[in-house]
Amino acid sequence: MALDKNGIAKRIAQEVKDGYFVNLGIGIPTLVANFVREDISVEFQSENGVLGMGPFPFEGEEDADLINAGKQTITTLDGASFFDSATSFSMIRGQHVDLTILGAMEVAENGDIANWKIPGKLVKGMGGAMDLVASAENIIVAMMHTNKRGESKLLKRCSLPLTGVGCVKKIVTNLAVLEVTETGFKLLERAPGVSVEDIQNATEGHLIVEGDIPLMKI
Amino acid sequence: MINKKVSGPKEALQGLKDGMTLMVGGFGLCGIPENAIQEMVEMGVSGLTCISNNAGVDDFGLGLLLDKKQIKTMISSYVGENAEFERQMLSGELEVILTPQGTLAEKCRAAQAGIPAFYTPAGYGTEVAEGKESREFNGKMYLMEEAYKADFAIVKAWKGDEAGNLIFKGTARNFNPCMAGAGKITVAEVEELVPAGTLDPNQIHTPGIFVQRIYQGEKFEKRIEQLTTRKRD
């Protein structure tokens, strides 16, 4: 059975290692924080200027001066810090943040990503996404394998305006875990109950299948 | 001590004219100079170019200036929360220049620091790169981005003193310290204005040299855009 959004987040949480500073995008990536192992030390950065982000506040304890990049009210954990936007992007551009997890509309087999603009539809802006994808060493995309019309989001070439070029390293979808390699999408794991054929059918870009493909351990 | 204190937003914004370029601090509705924005609505200045990460919501923040059609050009990274903004953008009344958030912050900081341009990887290979110089450093491609030029920078802080020193609170800091000193005149709106000597110099976030005019705002609504809480177990 294909994963739901929480399932994708749960699988990505396994990529978060002890000592990592992590930036989470809006949507599925935000859910990842709920599934990170409790016996490791991880700090979440939000690009509006906080490191050491905690859970949402209890009702009545919200502070208008304390939000995340999605403009939601948050809390901080011990060891947290606040900083200005230029410093925040120094952490990102300077590769001090170890892992960036974000959503996408399309990913191409060469690692290009499109996630900010659909021509003809209202454009809201790229926010910090272009800075994040151009800078991070380690980018994981969290998304559904196909769009609402059932079309593949893993393509030979992106059709939408790009957010960044050749930057995505790993993709976790409702069907599979894939690595972006020089020759295409290498299939690493499949979701429970999902066959290699199912993944092949949902992938427009070049899919590399070598040997037996293990199931995700969730 | 050089005293920067003025009576309020009216005096602080003297010299602000139609067609000028402003930097306005804040991320969403967090850390915005609420009183100065209200004053600009009352002044009726128009044809403004606003450099601000977001454009407020329909009835608050920079949305108030958009509603009165006082803004000609908006330079932001994300503008999704405002219906009147969408209408003006789609009808072509409003020019919108979308800029990656880190680039926007650095273009302010560069202006503050007297650096005319810098290279960043953000936007390389995308439509943001159109018309810009690109260059390779250590095997990676970068875009040249120029510092902003602004007539006024309007920032909001938690505490300030008469010398113009500023302390911010929480994530209301955001773009404010990057914009302070990045315009020809920097106006600081603070929640609490204290005499010089009251704030510990060790704790100052923005030194007073970057601020020309400072006042205590009369009223702060501090609206929350996305109230998100959890239940107690």
pLDDT 10s digits, B116-171: 999 999 999 999 999 999 999 999 999 999 999 999 999 999 999 999 999 999 99
On the question of pLDDT at A1 being above 80, the answer is: no
B133 to chain A, closest Cα gap in Å? 17
Whole-Å CA distances, A214 to A143, A180, A205 = 20, 18, 21
Whether A47 is catalytic is: yes
Rg from Cα positions in chain B: 18
Q: What is the pLDDT of residues A151-175, one digit of tens each?
A: 999 999 999 999 999 999 999 999 9
Residues of A in contact with B158 (CB under 8 A): 65
Where are any strands of DSSP class E within chain A? 21-24, 43-46, 50-53, 76-82, 99-102, 106-108, 113-114, 139-142, 154-155, 170-172, 176-181, 184-190, 207-208
Residue B231: its chain A contacts at CB < 8 A?
A: 58-59
Q: What is the share, in percent, of chain A residues with pLDDT greater than 90?
A: 94
Q: Where are the beta strands (DSSP E) in B90-208?
A: 95-98, 117-120, 134-137, 140-146, 150-161, 166-167, 183-194
Q: Do B123 and A50 touch (CB under 8 A)?
A: no
Mutate to test the interface with B, among A26, A61, A72, A85 (most CBs of B within 10 A): A85
CB atoms inside a 10 Å sphere around CB B87: 12
Q: What mean pLDDT is reported for chain B? A: 97
What single letter denotes the amino acid at residue B57?
Answer: V
Nearest CB to A93 within list B120, B158, B229: B120
pLDDT at B55: 95
Distance from CA of A77 to the nearest CA of B (A): 13
What gap in Å lies between CA B55 and CA B217, rounded to an integer? Answer: 21
Asked if ipTM goes beyond 0.90, one says: yes
Question: Catalytic: which of A15, A38, A43, A47?
Answer: A47
Distance CA B121, CA B123 (A): 6
Look at A61 and B169 and tell me if their CB atoms are within 8 Å: no
Mutation test of the interface with chain A: which of B134, B143, B171, B221, choosing the one with the most A Cβ atoms within 10 A? B171
Q: What is the pLDDT of residues B199-233, one digit of tens each?
A: 999 999 999 999 999 999 999 999 999 999 999 87
A116: nearest CA partner in chain B: B78
Instruction: Name the residue of chain B whose CA is nearest to A61's CA.
Output: B229
Taking an 8 Å cut-off on Cβ atoms, the answer to whether A49 and B173 are in contact is yes
Judge: A93–B102 Cβ closer than 8 Å, yes or no. yes
Residue A38: how many CB atoms within 10 A of its CB? 5
Contact A124 B80 (CB under 8 A): yes
Cβ-based contacts of A50 with chain B (< 8 Å): 170-171
Classify residue B144 by burial, with Cβ atoms within 10 Å: 0-12, 13-18, 19+: middle
Distances (CA, A) of A135 to A5, A8, A91, B63: 26, 24, 10, 32
Q: A130–B177: do the CB atoms touch at under 8 Å?
A: no
- B-chain residues within 8 Å CB-CB of A162? 125-127
**Residue range A7-21: mean pLDDT, rounded:** 97
Cβ contact, residue pair A73, B106, below 8 Å: no
CB pairs under 8 A between A and B: 180
Q: How many whole angstroms separate alpha carbon A168 and alpha carbon A190?
A: 19
- The single-letter DSSP state of residue A140 is E
pLDDT at B233: 75
A33: chain B residues, CB-CB within 8 Å: none
Q: Quick: pLDDT tens for A98-110.
A: 999 999 999 999 9
CB of B34 closer than 8 Å to CB of B156: yes
| Residue B120, min C-alpha distance to chain A (Å) | 8
Cβ within 8 Å, pair B77-A126 = yes
A189-199 tens-digit pLDDT = 999 999 999 99
Q: Which residue has the tokens 């999704």?
A: B80
Q: Please report the pLDDT score of residue A46 as a whole number.
A: 96
Cβ distance of A134 and B122 shorter than 8 Å: yes
